[in-house]
Each structure stands twice: as structure tokens, then as C-alpha cells.
Structure 1
């Protein structure tokens, strides 16, 4: 075998890029003998897809949609229609591609995805082509400071009657309080739960979950289809708090705790027209066969919300007999730690598709990574609003 190694490397080793960034790297090829080939080319693709089935009896209807974001090819060696001999040895072919500012963030879901990858090909005459493939993450920032409601606190209450064998066994009520609506991954979420048990039964369990609702849009190719788009919602949940609580009849309990927001794609998935993401906090209180639920929407962003620190005020006129010895204090600089990048808590996918064969190498199991802030339990300090998004991975 003449080909010893064939791979794609990024200057940013984690392969995480913000929209507007330049994707830079090298295609590396190692040959122990010269090889005849037409060219070595690198293909960039970014696409969104949705697909699900609806079964009715023995028949089923497919719903699909697709969007194209990147479709670009670079010739790194050789030409399109001529054959040449590539020398033996190790060779590195640099590449770069500027990402458009309106691309959606990477996402891998159960019924669709937004995926970006590059694929290098050795085009060989009269032989199978050799391919290597690598995915990368794109981040379309969601700045919580641009959302007026992100800083609003959340308060919700609910009451539920407890059903008995022949009549009501009383009721339970719950109150859920959250310090604000907007968060970034890694940020502590401070919550308070108050439960009042006015029933004849014990409260057995309480559960606080972060639910991700993904809405996919697709179209049917059926001859009987109206041609109108259909939607399909798929949910995942991440447990923030789970406890077996023995709240006796005619008693109440208060829970004040902190949970950390996991690594997740931002709300809305801006830039994608076929996939939408929303997040909800769900509090569940169980009593016997009855369940009380409270649901409140929150926003997951990539740039944290900041409350400017109060700047001391100074008199506009200096009182007689005094001298101004120093100018007014400036607001403190933006001192947040740059984010790390962590794999999505809900996992990834196999990125092999119908265009890959046994001659395609590279990582097939892949998980997108998202900005993750390490503040600890105290959360972000009250500092000046940042003037720019967090840096790309290679600038950290």
C-alpha cells in the first residue's frame, strides 16, 4: 500500500469555530512510493437535514427537509483533468475558508442535524479514490444581553387536587422561583421550591428537569400531500434535581439549591429554517397517582448576561475651597474567563453518510462542542457588558 497516512488537521485542535472565523488547517499525506493521481481536493460542506416517519396502519409517510450552508471545493495538488505523479514522503497542504456570519450553530438531534465537515479526496485514475473526513463545530453566538427578558426572574405556582377512591383527598401546591431567565452553559442556576401538602397523603418525590424541545420542519413527497410543511417535536431532558421527599400531610418544605447548566446548543438555532430549539424548566411533584407539574421557558445563550456594576457618582461642580484630585472611576474591565468548549450533554452521532464507503477514513463518531463557562457556584460577577463575543478555541 503506497498510502501510509491521510488525514485532516485544524490549526484549532478542537475544531470549534465562531461564525465569521477562518477555518485553517492542513491536509496531511504520507506516501512510501510515488503515486499517480489527478489531484488532491478538499470539499467543505455545511447542511441541515430533518427526517421522520409517520405510520398509519400498514402505510407510512416520510417527511424531509434540507438546507445547504456551505458547498465549496479547493484543489490542493494537481488539476481537474490531468494526471501527475505525486512524490513519496510526507506532505502538508494548507487550506483556509472564511465562515459566513449567518451560519446556524452545529446540532445533532434524533430527527435531524446541522452539520459541518470537510472531506479530502485523492482522485486516482482507474482506481478507487481515497478519502478522509473530519467534522467541525460552528458557533452562532446568542448574546443574552440582547434579550430584554433574559434578566427577568421567574416565578410560577400551581395547585393540584389529589384524587381519592371516592372523593378528593385534599390538594398540594408548589411554587418555583428562579433568579433569571437567561443562562449560558456552565452557569449556576439558583432555584427555590416551596411545596405545601394539604392532602391526606405523603409527597413522595420531587424532580426538576431541564427539557430541550426540538421542533423539526419537513415536507412529504406523497402524491396526496398538500405541500404544506409539517412539524415534529422531539424532547430530551437533563435532571437538575431529583429527591425522594417525605413531606407529611399538612406540612410544607422549602428547597433552595443550585444546579449547573450543561453544555447545550443555544436557543432558537438562529440561521436554520428547519430546526428550532427551546428550553423549559419542569418541576414535577408526585403524590400517589397524582402529579403536579410547573413548566417555565428559559433561554440558553453563548454570551453571558451581565449587570453593570454601579459607578460612583461625582458632583459636576467642585465645592469652593476644594480641588479635584482624581477623575471619576471607570467601570471595571470585562474580566470573565474565556469559555472552554465541552461536548454536548446529549451526545453526538455517526457522521458517515451515503457518500462514504470503505475507502473513507477519519472520525465517524462525532459530538459538537459548545462554549462552557467555569465560574463555580458564584456565577458571573456584576461587571461591564462585553463588547465582543468570547474568543475562538485557538485564542483561549
Structure 2
């Protein structure tokens, strides 16, 4: 019978933990035969990685990037020198590791990831090491209440014209005006995005339908500050709704539940950067370009509280949220964005004071009169990930700005 090993997190079967928390766990190692080892240790490791190719044939090039965030090794027995004899039997060990407060959230993508593992290693001299590994989820605490601008409506407007051509000349039609609006600029997974689309169609082109998508935009970098990047755009959710005929006005409302996805974060990792937008695509005749409008939104790991001053009643140590709207110098014609610009990060030195339960993140948070979140596996789209699916907090709550009705 081979050597076996079980790695458990204390009171935490989901293996989900927030950056800045203390990770505790136990190891049960069972060996059926005597072994000589230099040592037995556990390594808590976190890293980002990406890999892609460009071109073909002789012009084919490979690019990759790596960044380590955590590499803590604790020996249960032995060390770096000498040998000890491990007799057959079962061995029980305990471990703990204080996670740094600035860790990025776990992420699995098609060509990259941010991944955390706990790995038990038997360091065997003159022979390949034997190791046992379990992945776990780390969540960066991003409280959307920390930026009061995210409590304001997010609005984008587009005036779309179409070319009218005859034998002698070409001119533009009257505009089709599209205004997209959400009650707030930030949401947490599990909440309902109440999108309103106002259309005034003074053009000569009917819109047969609008397609609404929740878009994840991922930038992969080979290293910090690198100009070599790979971009991915993935539609996580897609809904079709009615269109708007010529010389008509429509108010279209769409409700979209945010699935379990990692928060917006363009700063913490130098390798993997994630942001989100709501994309609205109008379907017109095939000889014309469809109107497309993007409304940037911020995804956090704790939702905006109803009718409350920013940051009131929330635990000390929550990080300021990160918003990533279109930059001010956006070149899209006739676009006006009222989404707030990205705020600066606050000092992260007080993250160790997070009053989350140190063992089980699915235990109630210390927020008065509020249900704790549940944790669900990530929604994987477009070939993302290979096997492990991180779990993210889900807040299924009706509020004045987020309702399924």
C-alpha cells in the first residue's frame, strides 16, 4: 500500500481564506514501509503564471511570466541536512501560516492563473521527493463601500449614425441614441445588476434585438511594466432582449445575476489583471456595423450597503475598492462615461486586524444583522482553467439598487 497523506484546513472544508488571515491545518501522513528521509515539511505556496505563443512557423514565439507571492516552508521532522528513519505508521502534524495582506485573489484562466497550494513533501535522499498537494482559494477583501463614487449611477451614452449612400454621394443618417445605466457602479457576486437601456431611434435602421453581455477582460503580462501583453475578452453571461424600430423609443430593463467570479483587480498582480464591463450590442442590417456600447463596472468581494455613509459599520482593515472604468482619453466616438475613475489604494498595513473568523470563512462575518455569504465555484468560460475551480463569496440579497423583481 502506498504512502498516503491528508491535508485539512482547520474548520474550513471549503479551503477558502482571505488575504491577511491566519491559515491553520492538520496533516495525517501514513506510511506502510520504512523510509530514510532528510525531512518532512509543508510548503504554502502562491504564484501567478501565464504562457502563450504568437506567430507561426519560423516566426513562432513563446512568452511566459511568473510571479511568486508566498513560499513558506515548515518542517515537521528533520531539516536540510542529515537523515532520519521514518518507521511505518501514521503521523499527525499541525501547521499554521499567516497570509500576507496584499495577496491577489485566486484566478484560473485559459493561459494563466493565480494559484495557491499546500504541499507536503517527503525529502528523500538520492531519490525523487514524494509530495502531496491540495489547492485552496485566497480572496482579496475589496469592500465596495470604501469608494463613495461607486454608490453613484454608472451611465454611458452613445449616438450611433449609419452611412446612407446613393450614386452621387454618401451621408450619415440621423442618430440612434442609446443610454445604458446601472443604479450603482459596483457589485459583488450573487447580486442582481439592474440594467436600464434607453433607446431613441431616429436613424433609418431598425434594431431587431439587443444582446447584453457581462464581459471579463483579462490582461496577461510577462513581468511588471512589460509592454508584452496578451488580452482576453470573455463573455460570462449573455442575454437577448427586444430591439427598437425606426422612429421609436424604448426603455429596456435587463436583470443579470453576477456569478462567482474574482474581483476587479488591476494592481495587485503584475502578471494577471482583471476588469469587467457590461456590453450592449444592437443587431441591425448586415450591411451596417452594429452599435456596441461598453459600461465599465467594478466587481468587489463585499457589496455596497443600502442607504449608509461610505465605510460606516464595516470592519477595520478592509481595503479600498478598485474601480477600472474607461480611461479619460477613450477614443470611442460620442461616448460619455459617468463611471468614477480608479482611486488610489490605501495603506494595507492593517490587514492583519481583519475581524473575519480565522478558521472558517463561511462562518458569519461580524456585520450586524446581515447574513454571511455563501461560497460557490467559479464560473469557467472560454476554456479557462484546467481542473481546480476557486470559490468566491456570493451575496444573494435584495437591495434598493439590486433586485430580482
Shift of 1:163: 4.3
Distance 1:260 1:141 in 2: 20
Give 1:336 shift: 2.3
Other-structure match for 2:229: 231
Residue equivalent to 1:349: 385
Partner of 2:116: 116
| 1:54 aligned residue | 54
Instruction: Report the counterpart of residue 354 of structure 2 in structure 1.
Output: none
User: Structure 1 CA distance, aligned partners of 2:226 and 2:194?
Assistant: 43
User: Going by fraction, where is strand more abundant, 1 or 2?
Assistant: 1
Deviates more, 1:161-170 or 1:103-112: 161-170
CA deviation vs aligned residue, 1:316-375 (integer Å, no higher than 9, x gap): xxxxxxxxxxxxxxxxx732211111222136633xxxxxxxxxxxxxx21111111121
Q: Which residue of 2 aligns with 1:336?
A: 370
Question: 1:200, CA displacement in angstroms?
Answer: 4.5
Which runs of 5 or more residues in structure 2 are unaligned? 310-366
1:216-253 per-residue CA deviation (whole Å, 9 max, x = no partner) reads: 22269xxxxxx96323321111225323x364333332
Paired residue secondary structure (2:202) = strand
Residue 379 of structure 2 aligns to a residue whose secondary structure is coil
Asked if 1:369 is matched to 2:384, the reply is no
The 5 A counterparts of 1:115-194 are: 115-163=115-163, 166=166, 171-194=175-198
User: How far apart are 1:85 and its partner, in Å?
Assistant: 3.3
Structure 2 CA distance for aligned equivalents of residues 175 and 107 of structure 1: 33
CA contact 2:223–2:270 (8 Å) conserved in 1: no
The CA distance in 2 between the partners of 1:85 and 1:67, in whole Å, is: 36
Partner deviation per Cα, 1:133-157 (whole Å, 9 max, x = no partner): 1111111111112223211102222
Whole-angstrom CA distance in 2 between matches of 1:379 and 1:88: 61
SS in 1 for 2:149: helix
Does the CA contact (< 8 Å) of 2:184 and 2:401 recur in 1?
A: no
Is 1:301 aligned with 2:335?
A: no
Q: Which string of whole-angstrom CA distances, capped at 9 and with x for unpartnered residues, describes residues 150-197 of structure 1?
A: 111022222222346646676533221211101111111111112233
Against the structure 1 CA distance between its residues 369 and 2, is the aligned structure 2 distance closer, same or farther, given a 3 Å change threshold? Answer: closer
Matches within 5 A, 1:259-278: 259-278=256-275
Which residue of 214, 221, 224 maps to 1:217?
Answer: 221
Q: Which residue pairs with 2:330 in the alignment?
A: none
Cα distance in structure 2, aligned partners of 1:247 and 1:81: 75
Task: Evaluate the alpha carbon distance shift between residue 61 and residue 200 of structure 1 in structure 2; reply closer, same or farther with a 3 A threshold.
Answer: same
CA contact (8 A) 2:194 2:401 kept: no
Aligned pair in 2 of structure 1 residues 144, 33: CA closer, same or farther (>3 Å)? same
Q: Is the 8 A contact 1:207 1:239 kept in 2?
A: no
Task: Identify if the C-alpha distance between structure 1 residues 170 and 99 changes in structure 2 by more than 3 Å, giving closer, same or farther.
Answer: same
Q: In structure 1, what is the equivalent of residue 344 of structure 2? A: none
- Alignment correspondent of 1:394: none
Contact 1:336 1:380 (C-alpha < 8 Å) held by counterparts: no
* DSSP 3-state at the match of 2:150: helix
Q: Distance in 1 between matches of 2:247 and 2:302?
A: 44
Q: 1:219 to 1:303 in 2, by over 3 A?
A: closer
The CA distance in 1 between the partners of 2:223 and 2:31, in whole Å, is 47
- Whether 2:89 is the aligned partner of 1:89: answer yes
CA distance in 1, matches of 2:149, 2:293: 19
Distance 1:59 1:240, change over 3 A: closer
Task: Provide the aligned length of Structure 1 versus Structure 2.
Answer: 337
Match in the other structure for 1:355? none
- Residues 196, 250 of structure 1: 8 Å contact kept: yes
Distance 1:22 1:36 in 2: 32
| CA distance in structure 2 between the partners assigned to 1:270 and 1:98 by the alignment | 22
SS of 1:334's equivalent in the other structure is coil
Asked if 1 retains the 8 angstrom alpha-carbon contact of 2:223 and 2:271, the reply is no
Aligned: 1:40 with 2:40 = yes
- In the superposition, relative to structure 1, how do residues 380 and 248 fare at CA in structure 2: closer, same or farther (>3 Å)? closer
Name 1:281's counterpart in structure 2. Answer: 278
- The 8 Å contact of residues 197 and 247 in structure 1, kept in 2 or not, is answered as yes
1 CA distance for matches of 2:57 and 2:209? 39
Larger Rg: 1
> What value does the CA root-mean-square deviation take over the aligned residues?
2.8
**What is the TM-score with the length of structure 2 in the denominator?**
0.75
Hey, what's the Cα distance between the residues in 2 that align with 1:212 and 1:31?
46
